[in-house]
């Protein structure tokens, strides 16, 4: 089996745990397989320093121009998601990757990006508790599930705020690699969630 390609989008004012949580889950899963089952990369519009929420600086592994294939696309949230939805070049690239990906999931306000692209039309979703109203204004036909930690609509999945991205990442690991691998990953992380 060839390695699954996981791409985690980075942008200015991204919420740190929104990307770092999934990065940790998928990286640990890869590590525990001897790096045989997954390859995890971060990707930014350019290969320049990202200023995440509260000042953390992160350098993406790749620029969007360097990535043309992905199996699992992770779209985190944060205040910067408002800027992303106004960036036509970045949104076009995200939509191209969505067409190629097997699984696309958002964390927190990253759901704004799916809503803007029309992928939450008449779909159940969750997001950060402070973002539901904003998202419903963008996509009135979407069906909010305010009590869900995460929602699985098949190809498209959404996680609630911040730490919920870890739960959804473990769920995705279980889908692809089974319960035992998911439990080993969670145990390694000393994580009791999911």
Q: Could you give the domains of the chain?
A: 4-188 (3.40.50.880)
pTM: 0.96
The pLDDT tens digits along the chain (194 residues) read 589 999 999 999 999 999 999 999 999 999 999 999 999 999 999 999 999 999 999 999 999 999 999 999 999 999 999 999 999 999 999 999 999 999 999 999 999 999 999 999 999 999 999 999 999 999 999 999 999 999 999 999 999 988 999 999 999 999 999 999 999 999 999 997 54
Instruction: Give me the residues paired with residue 57 across strands.
Output: 51
């Amino acid at each position: 089996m060839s390695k699954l390609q996981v791409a985690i989008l980075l942008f200015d004012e991204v919420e740190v745990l929104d990307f770092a949580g999934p990065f940790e889950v998928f990286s640990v899963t890869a590590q525990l397989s001897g790096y045989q089952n997954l390859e995890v990369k971060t990707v930014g519009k350019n290969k320049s320093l990202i200023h995440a929420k509260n000042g953390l600086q992160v350098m993406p592994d790749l620029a969007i121009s360097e990535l043309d294939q992905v199996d699992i696309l992770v779209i985190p949230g944060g205040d910067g998601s408002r800027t992303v939805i106004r960036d036509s070049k970045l949104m076009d690239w995200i939509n191209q990757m969505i067409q190629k990906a097997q699984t696309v999931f958002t964390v927190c306000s990253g759901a704004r990006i799916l809503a803007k692209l029309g992928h939450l039309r008449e779909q159940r979703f969750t997001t950060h508790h402070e973002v539901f109203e904003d998202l419903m204004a963008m996509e009135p036909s979407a069906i909010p599930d305010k009590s869900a930690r995460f929602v699985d609509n098949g190809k498209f999945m959404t996680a609630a705020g911040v730490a919920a991205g870890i739960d959804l990442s473990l769920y995705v690991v279980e889908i692809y690699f089974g319960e035992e691998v998911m439990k080993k990953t969670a145990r390694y992380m000393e994580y009791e969630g999911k």
